[in-house]
């Protein structure tokens, strides 16, 4: 059984040292119908958002892929986040390093927190693309009919322009593909609530991912959480 150290309202140097040694971590899971019993191996609070249609306190409509789920959590929780939040899909393991199980994922999350990593991708691979998400496999015959946006490019540059100030980069490095990453509270709060409300509205406006908006968010999580306040648009205030 996992026991996570919560310290409540206690004060003093000993408690402060313990809190520093064990940063508070929370895991947010975007689930459709996956078996999420593996989350029992995570020694931290876990919030599972369910898009299967089953009623419950964390039920959400099945729209906008995991991007909608993550952004919903941020808007609903803002500004009360854990020191570090891990965002993962209901079945993350096919995208994690080989042979990594739930216990290994928890160790990775602990390591990121111990190293005070403000943002870290959890998948085994990284991506690099242009403003249209190229190269990509959106037209892979093996994936035909998988979603409404099959065969289309990914509007990475368009989504960037809608969310951020300044010129749109020509290329994008994606260290957190597959919607698997961990981010610090400070990096989340580097963007105002209005930013996340706008992002959530953009994800919800493409419910079936017909325009591949969800895929574009996947390419931009590291930009969203890079801490650069100069990218905040004046029209995205709280």
- pLDDT per residue as tens digits for the range 55-98: 999 999 999 999 999 999 999 999 999 999 999 999 999 999 99
Tell me which DSSP letter residue 71 carries.
H
For residue 7, being part of any structural domain is answered with no
* Torsion on CA atoms 12, 16, 24, 125, rounded to nearest 10: 180
Q: Give one word for 130, left, alpha or beta, with left for phi > 0 and alpha for psi -120 to 50.
A: beta
Its sign, for the CA torsion 162, 165, 170, 174, is negative
Examine residue 2 and state whether it is found in any structural domain, yes or no.
no
Q: What are phi and psi of 172, to 5 degrees?
A: -135, 130
Q: Which domain holds residue 170?
A: 13-236
Query: Domain total for the chain?
Result: 1
**Average pLDDT, whole number, for the chain?**
91
185 lies in some domain = yes
Q: Do 23 and 83 form a contact (C-beta atoms < 8 A)?
A: yes
Tokens of residue 183, six digits:
């981010």
Q: What is the pLDDT of residue 23?
A: 62
pLDDT mean over 163-186: 97
Instruction: Please report whether residue 6 resides in a domain.
Output: no
Q: Confirm whether 5 is domain-assigned.
A: no
Mean pLDDT across 161-169: 98
User: What does pTM read for this prediction?
Assistant: 0.90
CB 203 within 8 A of CB 67: yes
CA 29 from chain centre, in angstroms, equals: 9
Instruction: Express each pLDDT in 127-163 by its tens digit.
Output: 999 999 999 999 888 888 888 899 999 999 999 999 9
């Amino acid at each position: 059984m996992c026991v996570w150290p919560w310290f409540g309202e206690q004060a003093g140097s000993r408690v402060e040292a313990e809190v520093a040694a064990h940063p508070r971590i929370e895991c947010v899971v975007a689930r459709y119908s996956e078996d999420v019993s593996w989350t029992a191996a995570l020694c931290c609070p876990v919030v599972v958002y369910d898009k299967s249609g089953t009623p419950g306190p964390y039920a959400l409509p099945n729209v906008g892929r995991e991007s909608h789920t993550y952004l919903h959590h941020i808007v609903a929780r803002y500004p009360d986040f854990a020191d570090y939040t891990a965002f993962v899909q209901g079945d993350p393991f096919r995208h994690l390093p080989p042979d990594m199980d739930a216990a290994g994922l928890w160790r990775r999350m602990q390591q990121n927190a111990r190293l005070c990593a403000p943002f870290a991708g959890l998948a085994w691979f990284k991506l690099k693309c242009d403003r249209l998400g190229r190269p990509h496999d959106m037209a892979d015959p093996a994936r035909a009919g998988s979603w409404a946006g099959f065969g289309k490019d990914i509007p990475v540059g368009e989504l960037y322009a809608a969310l951020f100030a300044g010129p749109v980069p020509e290329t994008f490095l994606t260290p957190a593909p597959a919607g698997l990453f961990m981010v610090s509270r400070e990096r989340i709060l580097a963007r105002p609530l209005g930013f996340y409300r706008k992002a959530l509205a953009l994800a919800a406006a493409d419910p079936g991912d017909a325009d591949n908006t969800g895929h574009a968010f996947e390419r931009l999580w590291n930009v969203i959480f890079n801490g650069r306040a100069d990218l905040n648009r004046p029209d995205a205030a709280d």
